[in-house]
Each structure stands twice: as structure tokens, then as C-alpha cells.
Amino acid sequence: MALLQGRSVRLVATGMAVPERVMDNDELARIVDTSNEWIVERTGIRERRIASKDENASDLAIAACRQAIDRSGVDVDSIDMVVVATNSPDTLFPSVAARVQGAIGASKAGAFDVQSGCTGSVYSLSVASSGIASGLWNRVLVCGVEVLSRLIDWEDRTTCVLFGDGAGAVMLEAGEKEDPGVMVCDMKSDGTKWDYITLPGGLSSLPASRDTLAEKKHFVSMKGNDVFKFTQRVLPGYLKDVCSDAGMSPSDIDRWIFHQANRRIMEGVLKRLGVSEDRAINNLERYGNTSAASVFLALNEAYEGGSITCNSGQKVLITSFGAGMTYGAFIYEA
Ligand code: ACO
């Protein structure tokens, strides 16, 4: 059952941080055999942000979290948990979350990372909301961050044109019973498709060696076509079922926030659901695929741009898919 039970969970503030450096498609076309036309037509991406040499995931995460904290006006000592979704942490351990928790001075909080491909976004929001709904925590800072530019083979045109760097954050807290809030948290996986998106080298199954370096095993490898087909086969029926669990139909959702991976994926799913594209938030063309950070960036810009407003009663559905293959959905009332 995907319906969140227990205490009400409110989204009180968002934040984001992206590197200053912008890389547009024309610049990429000077690095690999591609073109602005191909990238725009096949993906919808026009430019992405790339972290500078000394900018790590934790730096972006800390900046995004600080913005969410400032906007929420909460005392950092009242934060019970810091949860960070990432696939490109500074180090495997310690977690990025621990670095954030230390840097912001949330002295009473715990901290952990969620690593679940791009769906880490929905998973982290869901785990945080469940912890609040159950009464375990009152206030949780959730962040999605990626510096995937370091894990990309810049000679592979099938992947390097897709990804970008950035971080987004959300402050969640317990609300009053009558408050609007989180309605659905759903997390799914089809691990039989584990080989669709991988980063095989550098850990226990393939420790770093001269061979793993020579064979480029430390970079993202993706069966892009299979991922694309997976989304069109699985997501429409799945999202219909998730809405139905909450007593709604897709037409009841006011704002759709898809994992910003490919404009054609989002258009295909919305078409199959019979939902108009103007209900979808889309900032993919400016940031590319920022993996576990993407829905956080879109959510933050939706609030900043006024397409989602607090206490509006708007129903917002956030959905993602990624390595695993994992997928999930999160619905809340703004
Ligand atoms: N520039 C120019 N041509 C290219 C490029 C490029 N950057 N990349 C591939 N091509 C060529 C291919 O070589 C192929 O040429 P061929 O027909 O001569 O063999 C042709 O373009 C078509 O390639 P396809 O792979 O079939 O292109 P497609 O339309 O499927 O688009 C893409 C590829 C954009 C990767 C698409 O499949 C996609 O978006 N898939 C989903 C990826 C995704 O969403 N991943 C999210 C999860 S990421 C995570 O979890 C970390």
C-alpha cells in the first residue's frame, strides 16, 4: 500500500545550488561527434552545469541545504535527520549526508545517503516522510546531489551529452492533522534489469586496477534504448495505479515532476496517461539529467516560478526511474 499513514508530513521549503560553469551542446560537439540538433531532438537538453575541479557533491549539497534551511527559518538543532540521495558522492564513505550534517551544524541529527540510481530522489523523500509520519522524526532535511561529470566517459557520445551536475534540497516536517501534505510514497524495483545502467569498476566485484582503468570501467555505462523502452512500458500503468491508490486519476494531478532525463520519455508517458504536457514541470533543457538531484531542481524552480504555491491545495506527483532498475512515485498536496 503506497498511501502514507500516520502523522501529516509538510514540505516547508526548497533550495538548490548548481555550478557556475555552463556547457552548451555546441561545446560538446567540439569534444565528441554530435550536434546541437541531435541532442535537442533526441533528448530536449540544450545545456548543463559542470562542477569545477575543487567542487564536490558535498559542496553543492551544503549550499542547497543552506538555502532550504534559510527559507524554512528553522533552527538547525531541530533537524532530526539529514538524508542525501546521490550516485556520485565525494567518497563511498563517509556519506555526503554526514558532511552536510557537520557543515550546517545540525548537532542533534543523524545522517545517511541513499544510493538508488536516479530514483534516489523519490526513495529519499519517501524514507524521510515515513520517518516523520511514524513519529520517529519531526524534521528532516532531504537533498539530491550529483557530480556525475566526474563519472562520465567524455569520449562516449551516448552518455556524455546527457548528464549534468547540481543539488536540490527540501525541508520536511510534521504537520497538524488538517494540514495538506504527503499522500503517497511508493518505491519499486525490477532488479532483473540491473545491467541497464551500471558503473562496474572500483568496488568489491571489480576493484580498481590498471585493467579497470584501461577498460574504462569507472564510468557510467548505459543501455539507453532499453532504459527508454522500460519507461514507456512500465511507467504509464504504474502511475495510473499509484494515483488510484490515493483515490485519484491522473487528471486530478495538477503538477507532474518527472525525473528530468529525456523530454521524449516524459511526453510519451503523459500521452499514454492522457495528461496535457502543460501540467509538467520541465527544466531539463538547462540542466540535463542530474540523476538523483533532478526532481529537486525542478521542484525548487517550480516554487520560485510560481507554478506550485504553498497552501494552494495543488496535487503534485514526483516520479523517477533509474539504475536498478528502480522507479517510484511521491504525491503530496502543496
Ligand atoms: N550524437 C549523435 N548521434 C548519436 C549520439 C550523439 N550524442 N548518441 C548516439 N548517437 C547515434 C547512435 O550511434 C545511433 O546511430 P546508428 O543509428 O548509426 O547506430 C543513433 O544515434 C540512434 O541511437 P539510439 O541509441 O537509438 O538513440 P535514441 O533515440 O534511443 O536516443 C538516448 C538515445 C538519448 C540515450 C535515449 O535512448 C534515452 O534517453 N534513453 C534513456 C536514458 C535515461 O533516461 N537514463 C536515465 C537514467 S540514468 C541513471 O540512472 C544514472
- Assess whether the C-beta atom of 96 lies below 6 angstroms from ligand 1: no
Cα 243 to middle of ligand 1, angstroms: 31
Q: Rg of the Cα trace of the chain?
A: 19
Q: What is the C-alpha to C-alpha distance for residues 71 and 188, in angstroms, rounded to an integer?
A: 32
Q: What is the mean pLDDT of the chain?
A: 97
User: Using an 8 Å Cβ cutoff, are 293 and 164 in contact?
Assistant: no
Percent over 90 (pLDDT), the chain: 97
* Ligand 1 within 6 A of CB of 121: no
SS3 185: strand
Distance 283 CA to ligand 1 centre (A): 20
The SS3 of residue 75 is coil
Distance from Cα 158 to the centre of ligand 1, integer Å = 5
Q: How far is the CA of 237 from the centre of ligand 1 (A)?
A: 24
Mapping DSSP to helix (H, G, I), strand (E, B) and coil, where does residue 30 land? coil
Are the C-beta atoms of 164 and 149 separated by less than 8 Å? yes
Rounded average pLDDT over 316-327: 98
Quote the CA–CA distance of 120 and 128 in Å, as a whole number. 12
Band (177; pLDDT cuts 50, 70, 90): confident
User: For ligand 1, is residue 28 a contact (CB within 6 Å)?
Assistant: no
How far, in Å, is the centroid of ligand 1 from the Cα of 157?
Answer: 8
Ligand 1 touching residue 322 (CB < 6 A): yes
At a CB cut-off of 8 Å and minimum separation 6, what does 312 contact?
A: 334
Tens digit of pLDDT for each residue in 59-96?
999 999 999 999 999 999 999 999 999 999 999 999 99
- From the number of C-beta atoms within 10 Å of its C-beta (0-12, 13-18, 19+), residue 313 rates as exposed
**Residue 86 is placed in which grid cell?**
546521490
Q: Which of 225, 229, 230, 294 is the best mutation target for the ligand 1 pocket, counting ligand atoms within 8 Å of the beta carbon and taking the most?
A: 225
* Separation CA 101–CA 95 (nearest Å): 10
Tell me the pTM. 0.96
Regarding the beta carbon of 157 and ligand 1, being less than 6 Å apart is answered: yes
Q: Which atom of ligand 1 sits closest to the CA of residue 118?
A: 50
Residues 6+ apart with CB under 8 A from 188: 238, 326, 327, 328
- Tell me if 135 sits within 8 A of 144, measured CB to CB: no
What whole-number distance in Å separates Cα of residue 281 and Cα of residue 296? 11
Q: pLDDT, tens digit, for every residue of 232-265?
A: 999 999 999 999 999 999 999 999 999 999 999 9
**150 CA distance to ligand 1 middle (Å):** 20
Cα 23 to chain centroid distance, Å, stands at: 20
Question: For residue 138, is pLDDT > 80?
Answer: yes
Domain 1-334: give its CATH superfamily.
Answer: Thiolase/Chalcone synthase (3.40.47.10)
290 in contact with ligand 1, CB cutoff 6 A: no
DSSP state of 178: T
DSSP for 100-159? Answer: HHHHHT-TT-EEEEE-BTBTHHHHHHHHHHHHHHHTS-SEEEEEEEE-GGGGS-TT-HHH
pLDDT at 1 over 70: no
Q: Is 262's C-beta closer than 6 angstroms to any atom of ligand 1?
A: yes
* Catalytic positions: 118, 259, 289
Q: Are 87 and 146 in contact (CB under 8 A)?
A: yes
Condensed to tens digits (0 to 9), the pLDDT of residues 193-226 reads 999 999 999 999 999 999 999 999 999 999 999 9
Q: Could you report the per-residue pLDDT of 275-304, keeping only the tens digit for each?
A: 999 999 999 999 999 999 999 999 999 999
Q: Say if ligand 1 is within 6 A of residue 4 CB.
A: no
Residue nearest atom 48 of ligand 1, based on CA coordinates:
322
The bridge status of strand 139-146 relative to strand 81-85 is parallel
Task: Take atom 14 of ligand 1 and give the residue whose Cα is closest.
Answer: 158
Q: Which of 319, 10, 334, 287 is nearest to 149 (CA)?
A: 287
